[in-house]
Structure formats: C-alpha cells, structure tokens
Structure 1
C-alpha cells in the first residue's frame, strides 16, 4: 500500500484496514487465496477506504463501525479490477503481473466473485439497510458502465455524454459512495452526507479523466502498465474525443483510433496527434472544473483539519503522475 502524506490523520488506521483485509480474505483454497493476496499486495493508495475514514473524521470518528465499511469498499474495488483485467486482457497492473496473467481467466473471475461475496458478508455485519442499499445500487451501475464500455469499443463516434456515463459508473459512483458511507455510519447530518457525496462524485470524475490522460502522457514505469492501453483496447477517452474535434488530421486519427489491430507505431502516432491537437490541455480544464466544484462542497462541512486534507487530496488527484 502506498502511503500518502495526505493521509497523515488516518495512516495508522489504514494500516489496520490493510491487516484486516489480509486476514479476511484467507480461505482453505490455496489458489484462490494466493490470487486474492497477490491482488491485495499489488498495493494501490486505498483511496476508497481513506475517503470513508476521512468522512468519519468530521463526526466523532467511530472507527470500529467504519472499519467494515472501508474493507467492503476496497473488496468491491478489487473485484472490479480483477474482472476488468480479464475483459481488457491486461498483463500488468501497478508494475506487477495481473491475476489473469499468472492464473488465467477462470481463476481471475473466481477471485473477483470471491472478493465480491466476501464484501457481502461484511455488509451483513454492518447491518445497516442504507449502507447495503447504496453499495448494491453502485455495484449494479458499475456493471452497466463496464458493459457500456465493452459495447462501445472502437466506436470513434462517441460523444461527451456517453463518456461521462461510463466514467461516472466506472469510477465516480464508488468514490461518492465511500464518502457518503463514512458519513452515514458516523451519524452525520443529512445535508453534510449529501455534500460529502457530491465532493466524492466530482473527485471521482476528475480522477478518471486524469487516469485517461496518463494513459497517453505518462511513462510506462510511472503508470505501472503499458502506455496507450486504452488506445489498444479501443476505449474512447476524453482526450481522444476532444482530439477528433480539434485535430487538423482528423481522418487519419479516426482511422487509427478505430483500427482494431494497432501496431506500436500506430499507437505512438495516435498519441502524438492527440498531444499536438491541444486535447491534453483542454482535458485538464475539464479536470479543473470538477476539482473546483468538489472543493465548493467542502464549504458545507465543519471547518476542521480534515476539511483541508480533503481539499489537498483534490489537488493531489489533479496533479498526480501515477
């Protein structure tokens, strides 16, 4: 797990979440446990548990009630990652072989199902109908987003509305839920639950746009996976959509983006065309809109150090390079 200075208020508790997750995914089936542990040990910033814990910091911080929520959020996130790697045929994630690469599709799907089932057991332990309802609805919508992405592969005629539909379900809804659930189990006032949810949603939208930008601007070592993965898989992202509108070589770019069997040279050429079109800078303006809107929702919350931490976290997401 990558530790962020932004999580100084909760780093020790995130370590507890990490420890409990390792204990919780133990099973009598060695391959299943090995694959789940491999995924967990691949790290990540544990953003979703962190958002839930930080939301709880505003309202007395009942950590023992927040712990199963934080764990359930991360298990759901991990399940989506391992399923995504099967759909995308991904060989690496965060610089390590994926579960799919090490054990194949069957074990990968079983691992994702196992993690999702374990998250349901945690929800039963939480025993709060509102928490269960929110996570169930989010899980359904995330599935819809994944199906939409598969259906739209290599469709170069996608627009911003379709893109927002996908990234809302792919990323933003679970981060929104993380913030809301941390507040709900801490007995926050309804208006502030809403404000934290809106903050989480807009942070999630910005996070995914930045992720999509990194796919065409980062180095493979930074990214932890091959650059141009979205291009290779035919996933139309914001910089691609904007580049088609702006590029003086639109026909060539459309051809490259729609081509199903791209060479490394094709990907390099498409990336160069996206960069030269001004789409990167324009996409960052969209990111800034979401980040600034997210920060305005924080003004609804108590003026305590955690509020500044969430504002700093928003800026980190905007400026991140990995």
Structure 2
C-alpha cells in the first residue's frame, strides 16, 4: 500500500496522531533496556497506524477528547505490534517494512518476550478508561487474536483448507481488531449505541476485505513493491483464499503438489504465480473482498454526515481497492 497516499486521506488527523505517536513511545519504555530497545525497534519501523485512525474517526461521532481517546488508540496499536512480533517468529521472517525483525535483531525468545510486553502495556494503557465493557471487549479480542495465531500454525501446509476455515482465521487475525478499534473509539467518546454498532460492523467488514486484498497482493504484486518475494505466503505454507479457490484448476493443482512435496525453487514460484494470476480463483477472491466492502459501505449509510464519515469511506475504498 502506498503509505503516503493513504496518509493523505486522514491528513486532518495529524495533530491527534502525533499525540498518539508520542504516547506510544512513552508507553513502551521499561526498566529493561532490552525490552525497551526491542519495542522501540518495532515502533520506529513505522506503519500506517490504521487501527488508531479508526479509533479517532469513530470517536469523532461523539464527545471527542484526545486526552481520553489516546488511551484507546494506543492499546489497539500495541496489540497489533505484538501480533506482528509473534507472526515473525511463526514465519521465521528476517525483515519487516525493510528493517530486521525483532527475532532477527535479537532472537526468538526475545521476540516472544517483547510481544508479551506489548500485550501487557496495552492492558495498562486501557486502564485509564473507566468502562468495564471496553476492558472486556479488548481482553476478548486478545484471546481471539491468540487463537488466530495458533490456527495459523495449525493450518500451515493444510492444502485442503476450506473457505470457511480461512474466513474464520482472518476474522480472528485481522478483522476483529479493526472492528474493535472502531467500537472502542465510539465507546470512549460516548457515541450512541446504534451508531456504535454500525461502526463496529463497518470495521469488521473492512477488516475482512482488507485481509483478502492483502492475500491477493501477495500473488499479483512485484517482489519490489512487496519488499519480499511474491507468493511467499504459499511457499511458507500459509494457504490463502486465492489459492483455496484456485487449487482445483489443473495448472495450479500440479504446482501446489510440487510445493507440498518440498519444491520451493525460484522456477516453481514463478510458474505458480503465473498460473494463480490468470486463475478463476483470483477473480473469485476479488469478488468476495468486494462483497465485504459493499457491506462496510452499507453500515456507514446509517451514520450522520460528517468529515469523519467521508474519511472512513475513503480509507475503506483505498484499503480494499489498492493495487500494491
């Protein structure tokens, strides 16, 4: 995703996001120099800060006070960061966003400690919000996220993965945290319940569409734009929707069998990408992503007109229609 283009869609939030960024840098400090260094290493790698943006925009429908809302925006980003650290251990990834991962810079053990540290800091940050449902919501999401990580491990090299199981996995791994970001922002700003539910549903549908597009991009993008070899998800054994929907096609089926038997050579990767890029499975995956996007837009129709609503619409369209 072109981060500069995306940031232009919420440029008016820059003052509030700068406050969130400062708070993030303060929250990850600890008595352990190692933990602080590892957390700052991940934080300084940057990122789109999509989840805090959804918190801020959802809060704009209610009583918006940045000194209160930041205590919701920070924990959702910390949880996202923690999940990335754990993912890099699971996938044995050495780089993320063009920088060495925590596991590569230190080791797997340090990466797991750093992820746990960020989870605990997320809980501590939310403690400033006096709302028992908000705490219940965040803790339930953390449990679901962890279950999603375990499912990813269990599903590795499950070449017979069903569409239902794939959708359940990305619900836990991606969609729920985006949905909760919207709902927590609304809760912290005392947004009316009906509007809060629409924002929650919007976040869920956007999250599902976003992850499917991410999995499509792993196939259709260039190595340069991805910052890693295209098709690396499949070579690592992570079966995604385009593969599930294309695996019965003869050319794809033959090459997946080669990968299953251990052939992850460059020639096999390129041949498999060529087959997947022209497959019906890819087109079907795009249609499913668009259906989720349509559902997200439908939820926004019930919200009052505002600049925040326009920003949510524009960001959702950009996230789900991006080409790289």
1:254 maps to 256
Tell me if structure 2 keeps the 8 A contact 1:158–1:241. Answer: yes
Query: How many Å separate the matches in 1 of 2:101 and 2:211?
Result: 20
2:153 maps to 150
Structure 1 ranges of 4+ moved more than 6 A: none
Query: How many Å separate the matches in 2 of 1:138 and 1:260?
Result: 35
Q: In terms of mean alpha carbon deviation, does 23-32 or 173-182 score higher? A: 23-32
1:286 aligns with 2:283: no
1:64 maps to 67
Q: In terms of mean alpha carbon deviation, does 73-82 or 264-273 score higher? A: 264-273
Q: 1:268 is matched with which residue: 267, 270, 295?
A: 270
1:313 maps to 315
Q: 1:300 is matched with which residue: 299, 302, 305?
A: 302
Q: Secondary structure of the residue that 1:82 maps to in structure 2?
A: helix
Q: 1:196 is matched with which residue: 199, 214, 221?
A: 199
TM (normalized to structure 1)?
0.95
User: Size of the alignment, in residue pairs?
Assistant: 321
TM (normalized to structure 2)?
0.95
Query: How many Å separate the matches in 1 of 2:308 and 2:54?
Result: 11
1:102 aligns with 2:122: no
Tell me if structure 1 keeps the 8 A contact 2:71–2:125. Answer: yes
1:115 aligns with 2:118: yes
Tell me if structure 1 keeps the 8 A contact 2:198–2:302. Answer: yes
Q: 1:183 is matched with which residue: 183, 186, 190?
A: 186
After superposition, the CA RMSD in angstroms is 1.6
Query: How many Å separate the matches in 2 of 1:5 and 1:306?
Result: 14
CA deviation profile, 1:57-102 (whole Å, cap 9, x unmatched): 1113122111010000000110010011001101111111111111
1:130 maps to 133
Query: How many Å separate the matches in 1 of 2:50 and 2:233?
Result: 22
Residue segments in structure 1 that go unaligned for 5+ positions in a row? none
Tell me if structure 2 keeps the 8 A contact 1:244–1:253. Answer: no
1:230 maps to 233
Question: Using a 3 Å threshold, how does the CA distance of structure 1 residues 24 and 2 change in structure 2: closer, same or farther?
Answer: farther
2:40 maps to 37
Tell me if structure 2 keeps the 8 A contact 1:91–1:97. Answer: yes
Q: 1:22 is matched with which residue: 6, 19, 25?
A: 25
CA deviation profile, 1:5-41 (whole Å, cap 9, x unmatched): 1112312111111111111111232221111111001
Q: Secondary structure of the residue that 1:155 maps to in structure 2?
A: coil
Tell me if structure 2 keeps the 8 A contact 1:234–1:260. Answer: no
Deviation for aligned residue 1:249: 2.3
Tell me if structure 2 keeps the 8 A contact 1:232–1:260. Answer: no
Tell me if structure 2 keeps the 8 A contact 1:96–1:224. Answer: no
Q: Equivalent residues in 2 for 1:212-231 (5 A)?
A: 212-231=215-234
Tell me if structure 2 keeps the 8 A contact 1:222–1:321. Answer: no
Residue segments in structure 2 that go unaligned for 5+ positions in a row? none
Tell me if structure 2 keeps the 8 A contact 1:141–1:169. Answer: yes
